[in-house]
Structure 1
Amino acid sequence: MNATETDAAGFGQVMTGDKPRIVVKVGSSLLANTPDLRPRYAFMHGLLSDIATLRDKGYEVVLASSGSVALGLNVLNTDGEEAGVQEKQAAAACGQPVLLNAYKQIAQEHGFDIAQVLVTLEDLEDSRRFLNTKNTVHKLLELGVLPVVNENDTITTEEIRVGDNDRLAAKVAQMIQAQDLVILTSVDGLYDRNPDEEGAELIATVDDVSEYLAVTSGTNSLGTGGMFTKMQAANMAQNAGCETIISRGIIDEPISAALENRRPHTRCVAKSTPQSAWAVWLTDRLQMAGSLVLTQEAADALEGGSEGIACTDVVSIHTAFQKADVLHIYDERGVERARGLSNFSSDEAALIALNPDREIRDLLGYKAEKTLVNRKNLVILEDHHLPWDEPDEKLRVIAA
């Protein structure tokens, strides 16, 4: 069994027992008072009290928490709007112990302990690091400890960061095969327009996330990445068979009240037949690692076909990639058709495609098949997947 097959099997491993699992995501606005940016202890008490109740009922809970940068800005006496990347990294370093100390003290009042799990984009996008992170979270749940997950903002920059804890929480929900993803925010849920506008109505149920992306893309209270990323997260969770609830973060029973339909919220329905864990990891990406365009004939042959993608099927390469990166695969009309794990780097793929009659060993110095993406490592995109726009810049044109 090769490394990829081992990874694929690892993605499919069941987590702990038969206990239902919930991932709860909490935003900075709920955790830090404004304008002084100090912890909102009343909300944190309500949140952890509710988590304690859920744990007593048999749930396993993971908390995806923002707040470290906001709380750290107060420590540094720095204005968030004027802070640059380095100031925010420093703020995260100062804010993490403030946030975790508050969580730890309150959690211990309710009879359980917490653990910090800091992750980066690579921890979620690289298959081996993803599995290592999964194993850590698995063990913490097995031992009865509440994992508190956050992006490691002390070392990340704009180019290499997840960027929002909504999608990070969805990745964690996929990782632990959660039944519910609860996103607590400052509004009751998704509205059909800016909730400040007269006549705005709360959308109670969402089946197809793509129908509502236009509502969330403006620069109003729904936009600026806020509700838009929540819809992206909901789509990622849906594909893994996880239901997403978007609800206001009240103090009393913020999670349970939404789960039990005792207060307004938006519920994004899970797909009845979720993909495998391996397919979900391949398709739901946080950042594009590489992309290419296939001939229309080769792209059309992907659906229902038993073959993978050959280097000679490639028309052009748009984004550089390395071996084992996940590729976004487009047809000549610009429609994204599939995603799959690459057997070569972009330089190697171009070299093979431009020299179809030469042996791989002569070109690369080692023996390999000419298949760029094996069929077992290829997932055809369906209507419920949110596609990525094709990059404009071509690094290499393989075929005229």
Structure 2
Amino acid sequence: VGTRLVTRANGKLSIAYIERLVRELADLRNQGHEIILVSSGAVGAGMGRLNLTKRPNAVRKKQACAAVGQGLLIHIYEKLFSEYGQVVAQILLTRGDLINRRRYINACNTLVTLLDWGVIPIINENDTVSVQEIKFGDNDRLSALVAGLCDANLLIILTDIDGLYKTNPHIDPQAAMIREVRQITAEIKGYAGNSREELATGGMITKLQAAEIAVNSGIGMIIANGKDPAVLNRIICGEKIGTYFHPVKRFLNRRKRWIAFGRVEQGKVAVDDGACNALCREGKSLLPVGITEVYGSFKKGELVVVVDRLGREIGRGLSNFSSAELCKIKQRHCAEIADRIGRHAADEVIHRDNLVIYNEEGQTLI
């Protein structure tokens, strides 16, 4: 649920909306559905309490606002959910929690345990301590990563418009809404435009990025207007509301989701046509002989992007070599590796089990 819904125009929390949201979620929980709520609003709530009329630009001030606002936000949720007999848990995540494989698994186990106990986890990015370079940046992508983390059946993103439109509905009253998206093509991405809001970080572009994560994790996603009456219950009952993104048939397992979406890229390698064909068409591992260029500085085990000779991303994976080592063995055969880097190592630069490949439309290939 986005910032524009849980806060008013002046930045203060919209208690009336949160009450309505809690009532709907409690009803769904009583019907037996497991619920995870990813809620924005900490910075906005902090702005309201601090009487700030404009979202601060400085990172330290945003983080200070979040420190004030997060306590207010979770207090309201806990109080309202308790009136319906529901127990909630607060989980504040940073990107680092998902980059590290052990912490990623721990987060997954914690979520599963809370759901088994009938608790409603309420998740937000830990804005107070997040480092700018590896922030999620918005709760749209965070919600998709969490959905993939726990193998959710459905991700619903509530916002202040009815769904994905071909043109901006705030400008064009005749804008046509797209009811279903079976593949996130370049044309679909073009409909997103670019929105910037003082209170909210995520526009339609980030919602499409969230959709890419969700559908490639085997999870359907809906963008809907959170102001519509009983919107969640109507969606669960099968009513066609908002824009529905169909999951891909061949989706990524949890480990490859972590590689594709949880990690942060540290460098890039360019490959020749032969390697590109072996990766994309034959499902092979990446060997040093096919690498033509190495970009950036990275360590063994870090995430690197793989691009073709035109610079188009064709995949990403975990490198068995540092960037310095790759510069020594690129375009060389496997038998030469040990002599050139002074140690015995794997033949593969990126093993296919640690590699995610994309097609021309950005869909993942296993």
Structures share fold, TM-score greater than 0.5: yes
Give the corresponding residue for 1:30: 5
Q: CA RMSD in A?
A: 2.5
User: 1:117·1:147 contact (CA, 8 Å) conserved in 2?
Assistant: yes
Distance in 1, Cα, partners of 2:46 & 2:211? 29
CA distance in 1, matches of 2:259, 2:360: 16
- The Cα shift of 1:252 comes to 4.0
Identity of aligned residues (%): 34
Cα–Cα, structure 1 residues 89 and 319, in superposed 2: closer, same or farther, change >3 Å? Answer: same
Q: CA deviation at 1:142?
A: 1.3
Tell me the distance in 2 between the aligned counterparts of 1:188 and 1:90.
33
Q: Write the distance in 1 (CA, Å) between the matches of 2:260 and 2:306.
A: 11
Q: Is the 8 A contact 1:173 1:181 kept in 2?
A: yes
Aligned to 1:301, the other structure's residue is in SS state helix
CA distance 1:350–1:205, shift in 2 (3 Å): same
Query: Which position in structure 2 is the counterpart of 1:217?
Result: 193
* Cα distance change of structure 1 residues 311 and 263 upon mapping to structure 2, 3 Å threshold: closer
Match of 1:59 in 2: 33
CA deviations on 1:261-286 (whole Å, 9 max, x unpaired) are: 54741111122332322233323357
Superposed, which structure 2 residues align to 1:234-249 within 5 Å? 234-249=211-226
Which TM-score applies when normalising by structure 2?
0.90
**Aligned equivalents of 2:334, 2:309: Cα separation in 1:** 24
Q: Give the aligned residue type for 2:183.
A: D
1:203 is aligned to 178
Contact persistence 2:137–2:201 (CA under 8 A):
no
Q: CA deviation at 1:80?
A: 3.2
Contact 2:189 2:205 in 1 (8 A): yes
Verify: 1:162 aligned to 2:139, yes or no.
Answer: no
Which residue identity does 1:30 align to in structure 2? L
1:115 equivalent to 2:92? Answer: no
**Structure 1: how far apart are the matches of 2:47 and 2:34?**
32
Corresponding position of 2:73: 99
Secondary structure of the corresponding residue to residue 298 of structure 2: coil
C-alpha displacement at 1:364, in angstroms?
5.1
Match of 1:393 in 2: none
Structure 1 Cα separation of the partners of residues 334 and 116 of structure 2 = 54
User: How far apart, in 2, do the equivalents of 1:301 and 1:200 lie?
Assistant: 44
The DSSP-based 3-state class of the residue aligned with 1:247 is strand
CA deviation profile, 1:158-177 (whole Å, cap 9, x unmatched): 31211011011000111111
- Structure 1 distance, partners of 2:230, 2:323, is 51
Q: Does 1:265 align with 2:242?
A: yes
Deviations 1:29-59 (A, max 9, x none): 1111221x22212211211221112112221
* Contact 1:207-1:268 at 8 Å conserved across structures: yes
Decide whether the 8 Å contact of 1:46 with 1:252 is kept in 2: no
Structure 1 position 324 matched with structure 2 position 301:
yes
Count how many residue pairs are aligned between Structure 1 and Structure 2: 360
User: Could you say which residue in structure 1 is the equivalent of 2:145?
Assistant: 171
Matched, 1:142 2:113: no
Asked if 1:289 is matched to 2:263, the reply is no
User: Residue type matched to 1:194 in 2?
Assistant: N
The residue aligned with 2:351 is 374
Instruction: For structure 1, list consecutive stretches of 5 or more residues without a partner in the other structure.
Output: 1-25, 388-400
**Which of 51, 57, 62 is the matching residue for 1:77?**
51
User: CA 1:43–1:219 in structure 2 vs 1: closer, same or farther (change >3 Å)?
Assistant: closer
Higher mean C-alpha deviation, range 151-160 or range 276-285: 276-285
CA offsets per residue over residues 280-310 of structure 1, 9 Å max, x none?
Answer: 3323357433221012221222234364222
Q: Which amino acid aligns with 1:317?
A: V
Q: CA deviation at 1:317?
A: 1.8
Cα distance between partner residues in 2 of 1:378 and 1:175:
18
Residue of structure 2 equivalent to 1:41: 15
Instruction: Judge conservation of contact 1:185–1:249 (CA < 8 Å) in 2.
Output: yes
Query: 1:104/1:220 Cα in 2 relative to 1: closer, same or farther (>3 Å)?
Result: closer
Shift of 1:186: 0.5
TM-score, structure 1 as length reference = 0.82
Alpha-carbon distance between aligned partners in 2 of 1:88 and 1:311, rounded to the nearest angstrom: 44
Which letter maps to 2:153? Answer: Q
Offset from partner CA, 1:96-140 (integer Å, 9 cap, x none): 100000000011111111111111112223322211111111111
Partner residue of 2:324 out of 327, 342, 347: 347
1:338 corresponds, among 315, 321, 329, to: 315
Q: Distance in 2 between matches of 1:45 and 1:383?
A: 44
1:66 positional shift: 0.7
